[in-house]
Amino acid sequence: MVRDLGAYLDLGPSVNSCIFVNPGSKIEDISQKVKAFSGKEQDDLVGLHLGSNNIVKDDLHTCIKKHEVLMEQVSQHFPCATVVLSGLTPRLDSSNAAVVNNKVENFNAYLRHISNKSQGKVLFVDNFQQFSISHLESDGLHLKPDGSAWVAANLKRVIERAMYTKSPFPWQTEACRV
């Protein structure tokens, strides 16, 4: 959904991160790739912006269950990383956009809940509340370049605040701190 996000999201050399873009993927597609994404180096950060391709066809409970499976895999393969959950943006590509956006808001509330109970290990980035519809392409789904830049700036703001004000993170073990 967020094309060219990496072009707008430069965290600098002190953050070991990698951006994988998988257009058209669903939560379950990324779940199958988590192990391949994990590298040999200790990763500081795992960012996830996904779920938009599930939210139209799956019911909310199914989306949440699939996300729980993904989060378990992420914590297994990236035990020392801070996980950044990028909230979904509004969608206008459906005849029932109000229903879909209600599901988007509820899914984002679930992501926020994960973050709130994680003691700083998981961060939530709200991309819904302040989002401008002008950031959407005419298809009502994909972001224009300025929309991608806006989401990236939102992500970067949350990541930088966390990475540079809370070191080491309270949840990290001694093995993660070296």
What is the tally of structural domains in the chain?
A: 1
Q: What is the pLDDT of residue 17?
A: 59
Which region among 4-13, 36-45, 114-123, 166-175 has the lowest average model confidence (pLDDT)? Answer: 166-175
Convert the pLDDT of each residue in 23-50 to its tens digit.
788 999 988 888 887 765 566 778 888 8
CA neighbor of 6 nearest in space, from 164, 162, 170, 148: 148
- Domain coverage including residue 102: 5-177
Q: What is the largest CA-CA distance in the chain?
A: 52
What mean pLDDT is reported for the chain? Answer: 83
CB 50 within 8 A of CB 30: yes
The pTM assigned to this predicted structure is: 0.84
Tell me the mean pLDDT in the region 133-140: 95
The CATH number given to whatever domain includes residue 50 is: 3.40.50.1110
Res. 133 pLDDT band, cuts 50 70 90: very high
Q: What is the pLDDT of residue 129?
A: 93
Structural element, H or E, at residue 116 = helix 97-116
What's phi and psi for 7, nearest 5 deg? -65, -25
Tell me the mean pLDDT in the region 65-89: 91
Q: What is the pLDDT of residue 61?
A: 97
Tell me the mean pLDDT in the region 3-29: 67
Residue 159 CA to residue 108 CA, distance in Å, equals 18
Rg (CA), the chain: 16
Residue for token digits 């298809």?
Answer: 139
Instruction: Tell which wins on pLDDT, 119 or 131.
Output: 131
Instruction: Tell which wins on pLDDT, 62 or 157.
Output: 62
Q: What is the pLDDT of residue 47?
A: 84
Convert the pLDDT of each residue in 93-124 to its tens digit.
989 999 999 999 999 999 999 999 998 889 99
